Amino acid sequence: MEILKNEAANLIKKSKYTMAFTGAGISVESGIPPFRGEHGLWNKYDPQVLDLVYFLNNPEHCWNYIREIFYDFFADAKPNDAHRVLAQMESNKLLNAVVTQNIDNLHYEAGSETVYEFHGNSKKLKCLKCGKIYDAGDIDFENIPPKCVNDGEVLKPDFIFFGEGIPPDAYADSFAAAEKAKVCIIVGSTGEVTPASYVPRTAKQAGATIIEINPEETIFTSSITDIYLKGKATEVLNQLGELLF
Ligand code: NAD
């Protein structure tokens, strides 16, 4: 494992374009559970509350759960060392972009600047009628569903629901990064969510070396991963950070 970490650090130091591709696993140590797996949110909640058509027909019912999951529960989460090491790598010109599937804003809060949010961000809400964007911090979640001041329409969190497309800019930026990447570091992703999982696959096809950090093997591990660093995101990224800074 030590040899693998040294090899990974050396590749990152030499790389002309390095990207990270992060999933729910990087935020587990910030207290946000993943959706899938033994302790996943879908064991407790019905994913239907994030289905666009169901939401549009049942906004009040859905908002009860959305508030609990994303605004009571996620709200206090702070970035952890894994987010911070990636931000430090960017400051030290060792990382060019983070493509994240996460909607928790923690990469920005850790100080990363080039972040492509493939699934959107829960810290913003959007009026589906006029497009007005609201900061979650300005919303009174005692009164749900929250409504637009312009037209009284129900607001929707500005992350994608089942049945919605990927935000076009994030999609284009993420695949452009993948095409350029010489190294792609996958952190905490099952690889089961498409089209997000095509991002590291595109990087691999374009010639990048794939480094994967996860306590469990995934469908990436046996297919595209070149260097598998088994372990929690904070442990492994802290160790990589020591080799890099
Ligand atoms: P996922 O594909 O994001 O995978 C979670 C992965 O994290 C698993 O492979 C697991 O082994 C790994 N993991 C668990 N603890 C870890 C740790 N300490 N360090 C590193 N890796 C760890 O799966 P999902 O949870 O089903 O998410 C699906 C989609 O839902 C994501 O792509 C994301 O868009 C969204 N989601 C976002 C958040 C968030 O914003 N924090 C949370 C849950 C889900």
CATH number, domain with residue 233: 3.40.50.1220
User: Looking at per-residue confidence, does 43 or 174 come out higher?
Assistant: 174
Q: pLDDT for 43-80, tens place per residue?
A: 888 889 999 999 999 999 999 999 988 898 777 899 99
Q: 135, 159, 183: which is the final residue of a domain?
A: 159
Pocket of ligand 1 from Cβ distances under 6 Å: 23-25, 27-29, 32, 34-36, 40, 101-104, 119, 188-190, 192-193, 196, 214-216, 218, 232-233
pLDDT score for 212: 98
| Whether residue 113 is found in the same domain as residue 150 | no
pLDDT at 1 over 80: no
pLDDT at 99 over 80: yes
Count up the domains in the chain and report the number: 2
1 SS3 class: coil
Q: Across the chain, how many H-helices and E-strands are there? A: 8, 9
Q: pLDDT for 186-239, tens place per residue?
A: 999 999 999 999 999 999 999 999 999 999 999 999 999 999 999 999 999 999
Burial code of 148-164, b = ≥16 C-beta within 10 A, e = fewer? Answer: beeeebbbbbbbbbeee
Percentage of residues in the chain having pLDDT higher than 90: 87
| Whether residue 171 is found in the same domain as residue 225 | yes
Alpha carbon of 32 to ligand 1 centroid (Å): 9
| Whether residue 2 is found in the same domain as residue 50 | no
Say if residue 200 is preceded by a cis peptide, omega within 30 of 0: no
Other C-beta atoms within 10 Å of 198: how many?
A: 14
Cβ contact 50:207 at 8 Å: no
What confidence category does residue 84 fall into, taking pLDDT thresholds of 50, 70 and 90? very high
pLDDT score for 231: 97
pLDDT score for 34: 86
| Whether residue 136 is found in the same domain as residue 27 | no
| Whether residue 42 is found in the same domain as residue 63 | yes
In degrees, rounded to 5, the angle at the alpha carbon of residue 35 between the alpha carbons of residues 34 and 37 is: 80
β-partners of residue 135 are 124
Alpha carbon of 180 to ligand 1 centroid (Å): 25
Q: Which residue has the tokens 């928790």?
A: 104
Q: Which atom of ligand 1 is nearest to the CA of 192?
A: 2
Structural domain span for residue 126: 33-76+120-159
What confidence category does residue 40 fall into, taking pLDDT thresholds of 50, 70 and 90? confident
CATH number, domain of 50, equals 3.30.1600.10
pLDDT score for 38: 77
| Whether residue 104 is found in the same domain as residue 178 | yes
| Whether residue 14 is found in the same domain as residue 104 | yes
Q: What is the mean pLDDT of residues 71-95?
A: 94
CA atoms within 13 A on the CB side of 32: 26
Handedness of CA 42, 48, 50, 51 (dihedral sign): positive
* pTM attached to this predicted model: 0.95
Atom 28 in ligand 1: residue holding the nearest Cα? 35
Q: What is the mean pLDDT of residues 156-161?
A: 95
What angle, rounded to 10 degrees, do the helices at 168-180 and 198-205 form?
30
Q: Which atom of ligand 1 is nearest to the CA of 41?
A: 43
119 is catalytic: yes
| Whether residue 54 is found in the same domain as residue 152 | yes
Q: What is the mean pLDDT of residues 149-177?
A: 96
Q: Which atom of ligand 1 is nearest to the CA of 103?
A: 40
| Whether residue 91 is found in the same domain as residue 196 | yes
Alpha carbon of 184 to ligand 1 centroid (Å): 17
Atom 11 in ligand 1: residue holding the nearest Cα? 216
The maximal CA–CA distance of the chain, rounded, in angstroms, is: 60
| Whether residue 148 is found in the same domain as residue 220 | no
| Whether residue 155 is found in the same domain as residue 129 | yes
DSSP secondary structure, 37-53, as one string: STT-GGGTS-GGGGBHH
Q: Which of 28, 107, 109, 160 to mutate to test the pocket of ligand 1 (most atoms within 8 A of CB)?
A: 28
Handedness of CA 33, 40, 54, 197 (dihedral sign): positive
Atom 35 in ligand 1: residue holding the nearest Cα? 102
Q: Which atom of ligand 1 is nearest to the CA of 42?
A: 26
Round the average pLDDT of the chain to a whole number and report it. 95
| Whether residue 115 is found in the same domain as residue 127 | no
Q: pLDDT for 106-151, tens place per residue?
A: 999 999 999 999 999 999 999 999 999 999 999 998 899 999 999 9
What confidence category does residue 33 fall into, taking pLDDT thresholds of 50, 70 and 90? confident
Alpha carbon of 118 to ligand 1 centroid (Å): 14
Atom 22 in ligand 1: residue holding the nearest Cα? 25
pLDDT at 35 over 90: no
Instruction: Write out 64-129 in H/E/C secondary structure.
Output: HHHHHHHHHHCCCCCCCHHHHHHHHHHHCCCCCEEEECCCCCHHHHHCCCCEEECCEEEEEEEECC
